Amino acid sequence: MLTDIVSALGSLLFVLGLLGLFVWAVKRYGLLPGHSRVKVGEKQLDILESKMIDGRNRLVVVSWRGKQYLLGTNPGGVRLLTSEDETNDDAFKKLVSDHENS
C-alpha cells in the first residue's frame, strides 16, 4: 500500500519535471509560433516615455528598430499619432524634446 503511494508520487513528480523542462525549452529557444526569435540583449522595442492625459487616455513614445513613434492609447485601442519617418520629423522631435524638458 505504501509502495503504491510512493510509486504514484514519484511518477507524478517525474511527469511534472518533464513538463517543466518542456516549458523551459519553449521559452528559452522561442519555439512558440508567431514569436520572433530575439536573442538576449537584442532589445528592439523600448518604451521611452509615457504620460497620462486623463483617466482613460495616454501618450506613449516608443522606440522600435531605431525609430521613435508617438502613440495614443485609450480603451478603444492604440493609434499612431506620428513617427520619425513622416514629413513632420522636426515637429515630432520638438514634441518629444518638449515633453522631456517638462
pLDDT per residue over 16-56, tens digit each? 999 999 998 888 777 777 666 656 566 778 888 999 988 89
* 49 and 31 in a common domain: no
pTM above 0.75, yes or no: no
DSSP string, 87-100: S-HHHHHHHHHHHH
d(CA 91, CA 66): 18
* 54 and 17 in a common domain: no
* 22 and 1 in a common domain: yes
The number of angstroms, rounded, from the C-alpha of 59 to the middle of its chain's C-alpha atoms is: 17
- Give residue 16's domain range: 1-35
Overall domain count for the chain:
2
